[in-house]
Amino acid sequence: MIPWLSGKPDFPPVERALADPSGLLAAGGKLTPPWLLAAYERGIFPWFNPGEPILWWSPDPRLVLFPGEVHLSRSLRKTLRRHVFEVRFDTAFARVVAGCAAPRESSGGTWITSEMQAAYLRMHELGYAHSVESWADGRLMGGLYGIALGRVFFGESMFSRATDASKVALAHLAAYLERQDFAVIDCQMTTAHLLSLGAREIPRRVFCAGLAKWTREGPPPGRWAPDAGAGLF
C-alpha cells in the first residue's frame, strides 16, 4: 500500500517507494506550485493516466543526462551545422506542452491531461518551467519542456513533427545548461531513446543527495531569453 496525501505536501521518504511498479511512492495531493516544488526538491514527480488520482514517483535507479555528455550522432551534428531549425526559448510554452500532450501513434493516449497542462503553465508563469522550441518557416516543429530548480533541469516531455526537431531542442538545452553551470538533467524514467542520447542511470540515493545541494544553488526562477540558445552550434 502507498500513502494517500492531503493537506500539506508532506511526502514520505523516497526509500519507501515500491519496487513494483518501480518508484511509485504516494497518491493524492495537488498539482499546485508548493506541491510541485516540494516534490522536485526531493526527487519526486507526478505521473498518472486520465481518470486516476495524482500518483507520485521516485524510481531507482534514476535516469539522468549530464549536460556535457549528450550524444550527438553524425546526422544530428549535420542538422545542427546546417541550422535547419531556429531554436527559441520560452516563446511558446503552452504550444510545446500541447504538442507533447498530443496522442502518439505508439500509445494512442496521453498522460499530460488538461490538469497537468494548467499546472505547468502556472509554473511557467512563475519562472520555473521552460520550453525549448525548434521552428522552421515560422512553424513549431518540435520541442521540450521541464522545470528548472537551482542547477537542475527536470525534463518532462518532448515532441517532434519533423526529423531531429526534438533532438535539436535537447542539444541546445544541454549546451545552454552546460554554459550556465547546471549540474544535471533529470530524465525520470529509463527509455532506450534517452539512453541513445547519452543519458545514464545512477542510484536514487546519489541523485537525491545531489538534489539537496544543487536545488539550493544557481539562478533564481525567471524567464529565459528567447535567443539564449543562439551561437551554441
Choice among 71-75, 107-111, 228-232 with the minimum mean pLDDT: 107-111
Is 180 part of any domain? Answer: yes
The verdict on 184 and 124 lying in the same domain is yes
- pLDDT exceeds cutoff 90 at 20: yes
Q: How far is CA 146 from the centre of its chain?
A: 4
The verdict on 43 and 73 lying in the same domain is no
Is 223 part of any domain? Answer: no
The verdict on 18 and 34 lying in the same domain is yes
Here the CATH number for the domain that contains residue 43 is 3.30.70.3550
Mean pLDDT of 73-83: 96
Is 174 part of any domain? Answer: yes
Residue 147, helix vs strand vs coil:
strand
pLDDT digits (tens, 9 = 90+) for 169-212: 999 999 999 999 999 999 999 999 999 999 999 999 999 999 99
217-228 burial code (b ≥16 CB/10 A, e <16): eeeeeeebeeeb
Residue 231, helix vs strand vs coil:
coil
Here the CATH number for the domain that contains residue 85 is 3.40.630.70
**What is the arrangement of strands in the sheet containing 184-188, beginning at the earlier edge strand?**
86-89, 129-136, 139-149, 152-160, 184-188, 62-65, 200-202
Is 113 part of any domain? Answer: yes
- The pLDDT > 90 percentage for the chain reads 94
Question: Domain count of the chain?
Answer: 2
Is 187 part of any domain? Answer: yes
The verdict on 53 and 127 lying in the same domain is no
Count of CB atoms situated within 10 Å of the CB of 106: 5
Which pLDDT score is estimated for 109?
52
Burial class (CB in 10 A: 0-12, 13-18, 19+), 74: exposed
Burial class (CB in 10 A: 0-12, 13-18, 19+), 8: exposed
Mean pLDDT of 48-62: 95
Domain carrying residue 153: 63-214
- pLDDT exceeds cutoff 60 at 49: yes
Specify the amino acid at residue 151.
R
CA distance 143 to 100: 8
pLDDT digits (tens, 9 = 90+) for 113-144: 999 999 999 999 999 999 999 999 999 999 99
Q: Where are the alpha helices (DSSP H) in 136-196?
A: 165-179, 192-196
The verdict on 180 and 72 lying in the same domain is yes
The verdict on 82 and 8 lying in the same domain is no
Residue whose C-alpha cell reads 542511470 in the numeric block:
201
Which pLDDT score is estimated for 106?
53
- State the pLDDT confidence band at 111, using cuts at 50, 70 and 90: confident
- What is the total residue count of the chain? 233
- pLDDT exceeds cutoff 60 at 107: no
Which pLDDT score is estimated for 168?
98
The verdict on 37 and 68 lying in the same domain is no
Rounded mean pLDDT of the chain?
95
